[in-house]
Amino acid sequence: MRSRLVFIAILLFASAFEPAVRPEQRSAILLSWDGAGGGRVRANLAAGKLPHLARLVGEGALVDVEVTGHGTDTKPGHAQMLTGYDPSLTGVYSNGRFRPIPRGYSIFERLHQTFGKNGLATIMVTGKSGNLGSQSPEGSNGEPFSLARSSITVWDGDQIRPARLVGEHALRHLGRYAPKGRFFMFVHFADVDVAGHTFGEDSTAYDLALGECDAWLGKILAALATAGASERTLVYVTADHGFDKRAKRHTAATHIFLATNDPRVARGGEQRDIAPTILSALGVDLTKLTPPLPGRVLAK
Ligand SMILES: [Zn+2]
Protein backbone atom coordinates (compact mmCIF):
# COMPACT_ATOMS: atom_id res chain seq x y z
CA MET A 1 0.00 0.00 0.00
CA ARG A 2 2.68 2.40 1.04
CA SER A 3 4.77 1.70 -2.06
CA ARG A 4 1.69 2.24 -4.19
CA LEU A 5 1.12 5.63 -2.57
CA VAL A 6 4.75 6.56 -3.15
CA PHE A 7 4.36 5.49 -6.78
CA ILE A 8 1.27 7.68 -7.19
CA ALA A 9 3.07 10.60 -5.55
CA ILE A 10 5.97 10.22 -7.98
CA LEU A 11 3.53 10.21 -10.91
CA LEU A 12 1.82 13.34 -9.65
CA PHE A 13 4.95 15.32 -9.00
CA ALA A 14 7.20 14.06 -11.76
CA SER A 15 7.39 16.98 -14.14
CA ALA A 16 10.79 16.48 -15.72
CA PHE A 17 11.71 14.64 -18.88
CA GLU A 18 12.89 11.07 -18.22
CA PRO A 19 15.76 10.13 -20.59
CA ALA A 20 15.07 6.41 -20.09
CA VAL A 21 11.82 6.74 -22.07
CA ARG A 22 12.58 5.21 -25.48
CA PRO A 23 12.59 7.55 -28.50
CA GLU A 24 9.70 5.62 -30.08
CA GLN A 25 7.54 6.49 -27.06
CA ARG A 26 8.37 10.17 -26.80
CA SER A 27 6.45 13.28 -27.80
CA ALA A 28 7.88 16.73 -28.50
CA ILE A 29 6.91 20.39 -28.51
CA LEU A 30 8.80 22.93 -30.62
CA LEU A 31 8.24 26.57 -29.71
CA SER A 32 9.35 29.35 -32.04
CA TRP A 33 9.82 32.78 -30.48
CA ASP A 34 9.79 34.79 -33.71
CA GLY A 35 12.65 37.30 -33.82
CA ALA A 36 14.18 36.31 -30.46
CA GLY A 37 17.91 36.95 -30.80
CA GLY A 38 20.31 34.73 -28.91
CA GLY A 39 22.01 37.67 -27.18
CA ARG A 40 18.82 39.20 -25.72
CA VAL A 41 17.57 35.76 -24.66
CA ARG A 42 20.81 35.08 -22.79
CA ALA A 43 20.79 38.57 -21.20
CA ASN A 44 17.19 38.18 -19.99
CA LEU A 45 17.94 34.69 -18.73
CA ALA A 46 20.96 35.97 -16.77
CA ALA A 47 18.75 38.73 -15.30
CA GLY A 48 16.31 36.11 -14.01
CA LYS A 49 13.50 37.31 -16.29
CA LEU A 50 12.90 33.97 -18.05
CA PRO A 51 12.34 31.57 -15.13
CA HIS A 52 10.61 28.85 -17.11
CA LEU A 53 13.28 28.82 -19.80
CA ALA A 54 15.83 28.61 -16.97
CA ARG A 55 14.06 25.55 -15.60
CA LEU A 56 13.98 23.90 -19.03
CA VAL A 57 17.68 24.62 -19.62
CA GLY A 58 18.43 23.26 -16.14
CA GLU A 59 17.22 19.85 -17.34
CA GLY A 60 18.99 20.06 -20.69
CA ALA A 61 20.93 22.81 -22.40
CA LEU A 62 21.00 26.26 -23.96
CA VAL A 63 23.20 26.40 -27.06
CA ASP A 64 24.02 29.05 -29.66
CA VAL A 65 22.62 28.51 -33.12
CA GLU A 66 23.50 30.35 -36.33
CA VAL A 67 21.14 30.98 -39.23
CA THR A 68 23.07 30.06 -42.38
CA GLY A 69 22.35 29.75 -46.06
CA HIS A 70 19.26 31.95 -46.27
CA GLY A 71 17.92 35.38 -45.37
CA THR A 72 17.18 36.15 -41.73
CA ASP A 73 13.45 36.44 -42.05
CA THR A 74 10.38 34.48 -41.08
CA LYS A 75 9.60 32.34 -44.12
CA PRO A 76 13.01 30.72 -44.73
CA GLY A 77 13.74 30.49 -40.99
CA HIS A 78 10.67 28.41 -40.32
CA ALA A 79 10.97 26.45 -43.55
CA GLN A 80 14.45 25.33 -42.46
CA MET A 81 13.51 24.87 -38.79
CA LEU A 82 10.59 22.63 -39.72
CA THR A 83 12.27 20.59 -42.49
CA GLY A 84 16.04 20.65 -41.91
CA TYR A 85 16.54 21.38 -45.61
CA ASP A 86 18.27 24.31 -47.27
CA PRO A 87 16.39 26.69 -49.62
CA SER A 88 17.72 24.82 -52.67
CA LEU A 89 15.37 21.99 -51.64
CA THR A 90 12.51 23.80 -49.89
CA GLY A 91 12.37 26.64 -52.42
CA VAL A 92 11.96 29.11 -49.54
CA TYR A 93 14.85 31.61 -49.80
CA SER A 94 13.32 34.74 -48.28
CA ASN A 95 9.96 36.29 -47.40
CA GLY A 96 9.69 37.44 -51.01
CA ARG A 97 11.24 34.50 -52.87
CA PHE A 98 9.50 31.24 -52.11
CA ARG A 99 7.30 28.38 -53.23
CA PRO A 100 5.42 25.68 -51.33
CA ILE A 101 7.73 23.33 -49.45
CA PRO A 102 7.62 20.05 -51.44
CA ARG A 103 5.39 17.30 -50.08
CA GLY A 104 6.91 14.99 -47.50
CA TYR A 105 9.77 17.21 -46.29
CA SER A 106 8.39 18.65 -43.05
CA ILE A 107 8.94 17.22 -39.57
CA PHE A 108 5.18 16.56 -39.39
CA GLU A 109 5.26 14.45 -42.56
CA ARG A 110 8.50 12.66 -41.64
CA LEU A 111 6.93 11.57 -38.35
CA HIS A 112 3.82 10.29 -40.11
CA GLN A 113 5.96 8.50 -42.72
CA THR A 114 7.85 6.74 -39.92
CA PHE A 115 5.14 6.03 -37.37
CA GLY A 116 1.93 6.22 -39.41
CA LYS A 117 -0.88 8.77 -39.18
CA ASN A 118 -2.28 6.99 -36.14
CA GLY A 119 1.08 6.53 -34.45
CA LEU A 120 1.46 10.17 -33.61
CA ALA A 121 -0.64 13.35 -33.79
CA THR A 122 0.92 16.44 -35.35
CA ILE A 123 -0.21 19.95 -34.47
CA MET A 124 0.79 23.37 -35.86
CA VAL A 125 -0.32 26.60 -34.17
CA THR A 126 0.88 29.97 -35.48
CA GLY A 127 0.59 33.65 -34.63
CA LYS A 128 1.18 34.86 -38.18
CA SER A 129 -0.49 34.11 -41.50
CA GLY A 130 1.38 34.40 -44.85
CA ASN A 131 4.97 33.64 -43.86
CA LEU A 132 3.91 30.45 -42.06
CA GLY A 133 0.75 30.10 -44.07
CA SER A 134 -0.97 27.37 -46.06
CA GLN A 135 -3.01 29.50 -48.44
CA SER A 136 -2.75 29.02 -52.17
CA PRO A 137 -4.92 31.62 -53.89
CA GLU A 138 -5.46 31.13 -57.60
CA GLY A 139 -2.63 32.57 -59.66
CA SER A 140 -0.28 32.77 -56.67
CA ASN A 141 2.77 30.76 -55.79
CA GLY A 142 1.27 29.07 -52.75
CA GLU A 143 2.48 29.73 -49.22
CA PRO A 144 5.23 27.53 -47.69
CA PHE A 145 2.92 25.09 -45.88
CA SER A 146 0.22 24.84 -48.57
CA LEU A 147 1.29 21.28 -49.48
CA ALA A 148 2.23 20.10 -45.97
CA ARG A 149 -1.04 21.25 -44.42
CA SER A 150 -3.16 18.27 -45.49
CA SER A 151 -0.72 15.93 -43.72
CA ILE A 152 -0.83 17.75 -40.37
CA THR A 153 -3.36 16.31 -37.90
CA VAL A 154 -4.36 19.70 -36.46
CA TRP A 155 -3.73 22.77 -38.58
CA ASP A 156 -4.34 25.88 -36.46
CA GLY A 157 -2.71 28.60 -38.51
CA ASP A 158 -3.31 31.27 -41.17
CA GLN A 159 -4.18 33.78 -38.44
CA ILE A 160 -2.45 36.83 -37.02
CA ARG A 161 -2.86 36.71 -33.24
CA PRO A 162 -1.03 37.50 -30.02
CA ALA A 163 0.61 35.10 -27.56
CA ARG A 164 -2.51 35.04 -25.40
CA LEU A 165 -4.57 33.43 -28.17
CA VAL A 166 -1.78 31.25 -29.56
CA GLY A 167 -1.02 30.02 -26.04
CA GLU A 168 -4.66 29.29 -25.22
CA HIS A 169 -5.00 27.25 -28.41
CA ALA A 170 -1.79 25.34 -27.66
CA LEU A 171 -3.09 24.47 -24.18
CA ARG A 172 -6.39 23.28 -25.67
CA HIS A 173 -4.58 20.98 -28.13
CA LEU A 174 -2.34 19.69 -25.35
CA GLY A 175 -5.36 18.94 -23.18
CA ARG A 176 -6.72 16.79 -25.97
CA TYR A 177 -3.58 15.01 -27.23
CA ALA A 178 -1.01 14.96 -24.41
CA PRO A 179 -2.83 12.60 -22.01
CA LYS A 180 -3.44 9.92 -24.66
CA GLY A 181 -0.60 9.09 -26.98
CA ARG A 182 2.30 10.55 -28.89
CA PHE A 183 2.26 13.97 -30.46
CA PHE A 184 4.48 16.59 -32.04
CA MET A 185 3.28 20.17 -31.61
CA PHE A 186 4.80 23.28 -33.15
CA VAL A 187 3.75 26.61 -31.64
CA HIS A 188 4.74 29.98 -33.10
CA PHE A 189 4.70 33.18 -31.03
CA ALA A 190 4.97 36.38 -33.10
CA ASP A 191 5.12 38.86 -30.22
CA VAL A 192 8.88 39.39 -29.84
CA ASP A 193 9.20 40.13 -33.56
CA VAL A 194 6.29 42.58 -33.44
CA ALA A 195 7.81 44.39 -30.43
CA GLY A 196 11.19 44.54 -32.15
CA HIS A 197 9.77 46.09 -35.33
CA THR A 198 7.72 48.59 -33.35
CA PHE A 199 10.05 49.59 -30.50
CA GLY A 200 13.47 48.14 -31.35
CA GLU A 201 15.68 45.28 -30.22
CA ASP A 202 16.97 47.25 -27.20
CA SER A 203 13.48 48.22 -25.97
CA THR A 204 11.65 47.28 -22.79
CA ALA A 205 8.80 46.07 -24.99
CA TYR A 206 11.10 43.52 -26.66
CA ASP A 207 12.16 42.14 -23.26
CA LEU A 208 8.56 42.12 -22.02
CA ALA A 209 7.53 40.11 -25.09
CA LEU A 210 10.29 37.59 -24.29
CA GLY A 211 8.86 37.46 -20.77
CA GLU A 212 5.37 36.78 -22.09
CA CYS A 213 6.67 33.93 -24.26
CA ASP A 214 8.39 32.56 -21.16
CA ALA A 215 5.13 32.75 -19.19
CA TRP A 216 3.43 30.67 -21.90
CA LEU A 217 6.30 28.18 -21.81
CA GLY A 218 5.53 27.85 -18.09
CA LYS A 219 1.85 27.20 -18.78
CA ILE A 220 2.71 24.63 -21.44
CA LEU A 221 5.08 22.82 -19.04
CA ALA A 222 2.35 22.88 -16.38
CA ALA A 223 -0.18 21.47 -18.87
CA LEU A 224 2.24 18.63 -19.68
CA ALA A 225 2.51 17.82 -15.97
CA THR A 226 -1.28 17.88 -15.58
CA ALA A 227 -1.58 15.50 -18.54
CA GLY A 228 1.01 13.18 -17.00
CA ALA A 229 3.16 13.67 -20.11
CA SER A 230 6.22 15.52 -18.75
CA GLU A 231 8.42 12.44 -18.53
CA ARG A 232 7.91 11.48 -22.17
CA THR A 233 7.84 14.94 -23.77
CA LEU A 234 10.83 16.86 -25.04
CA VAL A 235 10.47 20.62 -25.31
CA TYR A 236 12.55 22.77 -27.66
CA VAL A 237 12.55 26.58 -27.84
CA THR A 238 14.20 28.43 -30.73
CA ALA A 239 13.69 31.30 -33.17
CA ASP A 240 13.39 31.77 -36.93
CA HIS A 241 15.91 34.64 -36.85
CA GLY A 242 17.32 37.15 -34.38
CA PHE A 243 17.20 40.94 -34.50
CA ASP A 244 19.70 43.56 -35.59
CA LYS A 245 21.30 45.18 -32.54
CA ARG A 246 19.54 48.39 -31.39
CA ALA A 247 17.44 48.35 -34.56
CA LYS A 248 13.86 47.72 -35.70
CA ARG A 249 14.79 45.25 -38.42
CA HIS A 250 16.46 41.86 -38.84
CA THR A 251 18.42 42.02 -42.07
CA ALA A 252 21.61 40.41 -40.73
CA ALA A 253 20.30 38.71 -37.60
CA THR A 254 21.90 35.27 -37.68
CA HIS A 255 22.39 34.72 -33.93
CA ILE A 256 19.65 32.59 -32.41
CA PHE A 257 19.52 29.84 -29.78
CA LEU A 258 18.14 26.45 -28.89
CA ALA A 259 16.91 25.82 -25.36
CA THR A 260 15.70 22.35 -24.45
CA ASN A 261 15.20 19.68 -21.81
CA ASP A 262 16.73 17.17 -24.28
CA PRO A 263 19.77 15.97 -22.30
CA ARG A 264 21.60 14.89 -25.46
CA VAL A 265 21.93 18.44 -26.74
CA ALA A 266 25.47 19.45 -25.90
CA ARG A 267 26.80 21.76 -28.59
CA GLY A 268 25.79 24.70 -30.71
CA GLY A 269 25.34 24.55 -34.46
CA GLU A 270 23.23 25.82 -37.31
CA GLN A 271 19.51 26.21 -37.84
CA ARG A 272 19.54 23.24 -40.21
CA ASP A 273 20.61 21.04 -37.25
CA ILE A 274 17.37 21.56 -35.32
CA ALA A 275 15.14 19.27 -37.42
CA PRO A 276 17.51 16.25 -37.31
CA THR A 277 17.97 16.79 -33.56
CA ILE A 278 14.20 16.57 -32.99
CA LEU A 279 13.55 13.77 -35.50
CA SER A 280 16.26 11.53 -34.03
CA ALA A 281 15.06 12.24 -30.48
CA LEU A 282 11.64 10.91 -31.55
CA GLY A 283 13.06 7.74 -33.08
CA VAL A 284 13.29 8.61 -36.78
CA ASP A 285 16.23 6.90 -38.49
CA LEU A 286 17.92 9.83 -40.24
CA THR A 287 19.89 7.56 -42.56
CA LYS A 288 16.62 6.49 -44.22
CA LEU A 289 15.55 10.01 -45.23
CA THR A 290 15.77 11.10 -48.84
CA PRO A 291 17.05 13.52 -49.77
CA PRO A 292 19.54 13.28 -46.88
CA LEU A 293 19.31 16.04 -44.27
CA PRO A 294 22.33 18.38 -44.47
CA GLY A 295 22.39 19.11 -40.73
CA ARG A 296 23.78 17.16 -37.79
CA VAL A 297 22.25 16.21 -34.45
CA LEU A 298 23.33 18.74 -31.80
CA ALA A 299 24.75 16.04 -29.54
CA LYS A 300 28.36 15.41 -28.59
ZN1 LIG B 1 10.08 40.43 -38.46
The string of DSSP codes covering 173-231 is HHHHHTTTS-EEEEEEE-HHHHHHHHH-TTSHHHHHHHHHHHHHHHHHHHHHHHTT-GG
pLDDT computed for residue 60 by the predictor:
96
pLDDT computed for residue 7 by the predictor:
56
Question: Checking phi first, is residue 97 left (phi over 0); if not, alpha (psi -120 to 50) or beta?
Answer: beta
Q: How much of the chain, in percent, has pLDDT values that exceed 70?
A: 95
Ligand 1 centre to CA of 143 (Å) is 17
Total Cβ atoms within 10 A of residue 92: 27
Q: Answer for the pair 127, 191: CB distance below 8 angstroms, yes or no.
A: yes
Residue 76, SS3 per DSSP: helix
Ligand 1 centre to CA of 52 (Å) is 24
Ligand 1 centre to CA of 112 (Å) is 31
pLDDT computed for residue 200 by the predictor:
98
Query: Low-confidence residues of the chain, pLDDT below 70?
Result: 1-14
Ligand 1 centre to CA of 118 (Å) is 36
pLDDT computed for residue 4 by the predictor:
65
Q: How much of the chain, in percent, has pLDDT values that exceed 90?
A: 92
pLDDT computed for residue 225 by the predictor:
96
Ligand 1 centre to CA of 1 (Å) is 57
Cα-Cα-Cα-Cα dihedral sign, residues 121, 131, 69, 244 = negative
Total Cβ atoms within 10 A of residue 245: 14
Ligand 1 centre to CA of 156 (Å) is 21
Q: What is the distance, to the nearest Å, from the Cα of residue 2 to the centroid of all Cα atoms in its chain?
A: 41
Q: Answer for the pair 110, 287: CB distance below 8 angstroms, yes or no.
A: no
Ligand 1 centre to CA of 243 (Å) is 8
Ion ligand 1 — residues with CB under 5 Å? Answer: 193
Among 274, 246, 268, CA closest to 255: 268
d(CA 139, CA 202): 41
